[in-house]
A and B are shown apart, each in its own frame.
Chain A
Amino acid sequence: MRSKHSTLTWVDKNRIFLLFAVVSIFMSLFAPRFFNVFNLTAIMKTVAMNACVAIGFTIVMICGQLDLSIGTVITFAGVLGLVLKGPLGYAVSVPVAIAAGAAVGLFNGLLVAKAKINSFIVTLGTMTILQGAIYTMTKGNTVSLSTPDAFVVADFLAKPLLPLVTPRILITVALVLVAEVFLRRTRSGRNFFLVGGNRNTAWLAGIKTDAYIIVAFVLSGALAAVGGVFFAMESSAATLKLGDQSLMYVLSATIIGGTAMSGGKGGVFRTVVAILTLEMLYTGIILFGFGNEVKIFIAGLILATVVLYEAYAVYKHEREVGKRPELVKELEAAAAAKTAGSPRR
């Protein structure tokens, strides 16, 4: 029989899958018009961009770092992909946009790993620089394509190959699987966890910690760009606010999915399930007839709750480590024995 402690640990460990099951079953049963192919495909399409972005973001967080620039990288890549599409075509503009995202990641990674600047500060700076670059590139206007060939690509990316599965969703699923297998089944992948768990120990074990941190940021930049550029291609448009909502969304999902903010723990698959769960929840809220403001309120509430829980878990863990309960018990027993054996005065 499972003890109470181990049951709680099991629930905590699998909280995202339980949450997914609860939300999906509840919405399917009660939310009006939730449970049909069109709606579920729409949910999957929305998830596709953020899931792509979340892969890199999760790896950065596993390394114990934070990448605040993902939202602007999404917008930057989307805008760049469409701006360059005219003169160069998608065959060139898409790789260039992804490479640009990777370059932003490389810049972040070098400053964090080599210059030892806090990732929060570095990526906040990059975010601001990119915002300026986007406004300069577009003069403040939305970039859009309404040529027939742009619509052909958009239609291809949006048209389901199977129910619920469009090419863009397929690309995202493939990337998630590759990332999950890489992190779990390869030595290099597992090293990201070691770097995030304890950077000094990892370095003493012979792991090139700086290189892993740089690679994590490069992956984060490149995958944010993939998410942004494919989303822009499917919409044939990129607004200057394209990625604005993604940072909070992906951050919430990554934490809810069980990736520790302190690093060393987590997983891409869990983050993606969390994104799917959140999207189902938000869609359900709207389908129940509540306004967008209720959705924003609930999103904030979820994030606050999870961050609070994470902070409590870290506090509890540190307190236990400090106390060494077994050692304390041993010492207490020894003290009690000593007291019992000592002569009375």
Chain B
Amino acid sequence: MIFLFLTSGLFLGWTLGANDAANVFGSAVGSRMVSFTRAAVIASIFVILGAVLQGAGASETLGRLGSVNAMGGAFTVALAAALTVYFMTRAGLPVSTTQAIVGAIIGWNFFTNNAVDTRALTQIVTTWITGPVLGALFAYALYHLVKITRRRIRTHLLKYESMLRFGLLIAGAFGAYSLGANNIANVMGVFVPSIPLVTTDFGIFTLTGPQQLFFLGAIAIAAGVLTYSRKVMETVGANLLELSSETAFVVVLSQALVLFIFSSSALSGLLVKAGLPPIPLVPVSSTQVVVGSVLGIGLYKGVRNINIKVLGSIASGWITTPVAAGVLAFLLLFFVKNLFGIDVGHSFNPPASTGEGISTATIIRYSIPALLAITAAYLIYLVLSEKKKTERLNKEYYK
């Protein structure tokens, strides 16, 4: 039953992997600087690492906004967000998973008569604006740095390109790690309060309850990356974001930095220690940070005509996406509760564990290593087939 409820979250994870991996590796793959296989393998590994190791911060903030205390509710909230993303994407409207899930949680709050934590909401909405702005600032500074370095080192173009290619891989890995760390909250955050999993020792590593959920969500993201992101990467990389290798590197790095900042509890703790206000750990839209970064580079290059339409579409997405997801979540919750008689949550503290967690923990205990082994085997297969292809190409030419 638990896996049935998780399907909506896993589906959301799959769509996130299919779409948002393009923000990390799209320009590199679209411009053929990095092969899809290499990008997909790196993205998958680092998304999982980021989600499991650093996914808790942003998830806690979402939990403060609305602690969905029933599995049926969590399922419906994630489904509402996934459907909003799906339909808005099909309609060609700007959409973000982050904003959809926030809207859906607010919809759940309204449905269950829970008060919306305005402080958490303000924090989240503020980061929607500061994310792209920070992306633009980072991109501006990094691009300046890259240009200065290029002039100073006077290296051969091919060597410089190979350095950039390597840099793209590192930045991409960092981007994927940050994407996993920051956006896993969108995928699995709503399930954390309602699925009480116990800390499990897998022999070589130990995972807390939320980490086990994040791992499952990250596997879904990785599946999205491996199965469906190729087309998105190639079209997005080659059309919408036609960037040079230098700009692609800067965009990916600045996006990774922004996502990392908004998901790093250690960095936030350091600021608090220094007497500064903490960084809100909030899931931000990677697409919008990428747009901000591209604008930052545009400003550096002295582009005068900034496309107001692009900025307008981002701003409209801040309103339309949460509203659409909230309304849809409210309607779906109504049907799920009244038509199927499924518990979708209450307006009080979460009920005590019914013991279901123990049996779930057993399932998870065995399914996580199995999933890990399957993913590893698939990644090895991809790498080997790519190597074989290159060898065949070389043989054909030099024959």
Query: Do A and B actually bind?
Result: no
A residues bordering B, Cβ < 8 Å? none
B residues bordering A, Cβ < 8 Å? none
